[in-house]
Structure 1
């Protein structure tokens, strides 16, 4: 039985705590965080899954998730722009953010997370088919989800998923870069004596500057937790205990093109992981019918570089699909 419970390990006004008096923040961001939302856990397979929800239950459904080692609040200032027209759920993947680890962390298990959370929150009720919006690693998991359950989702918007020609991806990895999700599952997370010390260690992957530094501070704040006299990362080391192989990433372009249902791609115009050549590669693989939108001046972390342009790109895709429904 799935049982919803309010978040009980976070202050209700945690975003306000981070923001202080808000005088340094733009009005659009303050307004987005003021849009009414539900924050709670739902229990799935004996583990708590953390989610945020906006909008009205009778509206079309959006199911949103984040990249590797990130959390749902990557979309906490994006999702509110869809609250008027949609029932929007952003959730933390298992072992990341404020969701507990459950089961395995392999490719198949990650795909099942989308149907599990959708079922737990009744997103399939009355014949609804949620549209998935996912960033980076979450997009790869979402591709698995729509392949596993091709008839229950309305579409998938892939946001800056790492897709390169295999030979270019191997060159990218050879430059001292690890494949996504590499890490030691048996090594405990490091503890730091203060939040400031931990914040200094927070970096993006791939490393990049951001156009909106206050958003990076926001994401970093929600990536850490206080434990007694120290601070440490929220994610569980168990997320590194994965069975996926590098060839899954080498074949990501084919996986995307062959995945069932409607698909669209939004990527940073300056992304290191999805370039104009990536778009050409998708076309060569047979993905001519997949809309591909580049967000100018954005890198991999679109929501931190050009959040409002990112919103506009997502709105365009959803409007196109609504027109062609």
Structure 2
């Protein structure tokens, strides 16, 4: 393959505004974004829900979603690696990315979104049960989904969800001074005179450097929209009308351990939000059967630090779940 490509040969997602001529982009990224996909909207409760879809409709189903204030393109360069063996959907949560806000932003409503999008796109057809793969805030919503509808999903892969012992969480809260993802639902999104001015204001939460800066540029660009010559954030301020208290996060570990069905955890080895102490805590409160995989050199935003290792970690979980259990020769069948 050529190391250099002209802009005209690049996938539509790679806009010159953030990518220039694209010559610095690795071949794997360009190839991933070139994998055929469907992009569209379905209407749910009178609001448009944005999604991408890859792969074969007859294959097992994967349902992917993102963290708070992010969007489905967090998985747009991850999902294509699964297109050969799966029917993969990545969607924008309500009020984020290109999905319109609908209903409430409370915990129960967020969980229901997984069932709604799966039904709308036929992921339950012919007895299929999708496996959920979700990052951060999306993982918390996914735990609600599998708890609300335990027979609807085949498992959930929780990717760097904030889980800490209560005493560690208290220390984190005191240091951060506010809940992660806090904001004012009654304040309109700020507007910027240029993309450059808006891009300078794009930061990750929690703040971190990224190992692959071009991926951060890609995510930042698709977090913004242009209106009447100005740039503003895509997310709706209404997403901040949600429960986001220390009490909620204090119980997140128990929610994960007690959630029905198959669960796996993938986290960054350098994550601020899920550490080896978090893994020990999960095991202590009943999660001994939950596989916990650490992605080396990755922080909270796994897909921006070690995207290919993140793919490999997901592949490992799915391969384990798809392998028939070993039967001991001494056991009766």
Does the pair score TM above 0.5? yes
Matched, 1:98 2:95: no
User: Which runs of structure 2 are paired with 1:56-67 in the superposition (5 Å)?
Assistant: 56-67=56-67
Matches within 5 A, 1:193-212: 193-212=193-212
* 2:82 is equivalent to residue 79 of structure 1: no
Aligned counterpart, 1:276: 276
Which string of whole-angstrom CA distances, capped at 9 and with x for unpartnered residues, describes residues 122-147 of structure 1?
A: 00000000000000000000000000
Structure 1: distance between partners of 2:176 and 2:271: 18
Alignment correspondent of 1:226: 226
Q: What is the Cα deviation at residue 16 of structure 1?
A: 4.6
Q: Number of paired residues?
A: 314
Which digits, 9 at most, give the CA deviation of each residue in 1:263-311, with x for residues without a partner? 0000000000000000000010111100000000000000000000000
Does the CA contact (< 8 Å) of 1:106 and 1:244 recur in 2? Answer: no
Asked whether the equivalents of residues 13 and 33 of structure 2 are also in contact (C-alpha less than 8 Å), the reply is: no
**Is the contact between residue 182 and residue 244 of structure 2 (CA under 8 Å) also seen in structure 1?**
no
Query: How far does the alpha carbon of each residue in 1:129-178 deviate from its partner, in whole angstroms, 9 at most, with x for none?
Result: 00000000000000000000000100000000000001111110101342
Matches for 1:1-325 after TM superposition, within 5 Å: 13-17=12-16, 18-324=18-324
Q: Give SS of 2:42's match.
A: strand
Cα distance in 2 for residues equivalent to 1:211 and 1:255: 31
3-state SS of paired residue (2:108) = helix
Query: Would the alpha carbon gap of residues 36 and 16 (structure 1) be closer, same or farther in structure 2, given more than 3 Å must change?
Result: farther
CA distance in 1, matches of 2:306, 2:46: 38
Larger radius of gyration: 2
Cα offset, 1:248, TM superposition:
1.5
Q: Is the 8 A contact 1:96 1:236 kept in 2?
A: yes
Question: How high is the TM-score relative to the length of structure 1?
Answer: 0.95
Contact residue 211 and residue 306 of structure 1 kept, 8 A: yes
Q: Which residue of 2 aligns with 1:8?
A: none
CA-atom RMSD in angstroms: 1.2
User: Is the CA contact (8 Å cut-off) linking 1:40 and 1:51 kept in structure 2?
Assistant: yes
8 A contact 2:181–2:205 mirrored in 1: no
Query: The residue matched to 2:289 in structure 1 has which SS?
Result: coil
Aligned residue for 1:286, secondary structure, equals: coil
Counterparts of 2:146 and 2:19 in 1: how far apart (Å)? 37
Once residues 75 and 136 of structure 1 are traced to their aligned partners in structure 2, the CA distance between those partners, rounded to angstroms, is 13
**Superposed CA offset, 1:214-269 (max 9, x none):** 00000000000001121000000000011353312111000000000000000000
Shift of 1:113: 0.2
Q: Secondary structure at the match of 1:206?
A: coil
Take 1:185 and 1:238, find their aligned partners in 2: how far apart are those partners? 5
* Cα distance, 1:105 vs structure 2: 0.2
Shift of 1:20: 4.5
Q: Which moved more, 1:58-67 or 1:246-255?
A: 246-255
Q: Which runs of 5+ in 2 are unaligned?
A: 1-10, 326-333
Task: State the SS of the aligned residue for 1:90.
Answer: strand
CA distance in 2, matches of 1:220, 1:133: 21
SS of the residue corresponding to residue 175 of structure 1 reads helix
- Indicate if the aligned counterparts of 1:137 and 1:180 stay in contact, CA closer than 8 A: no
CA contact (8 A) 2:14 2:22 kept: no
* 1:13 CA displacement: 2.4
1:145 is paired with a residue whose SS is helix
Q: Secondary structure at the match of 2:279?
A: helix
Distance 1:247 1:32 in 2: 40
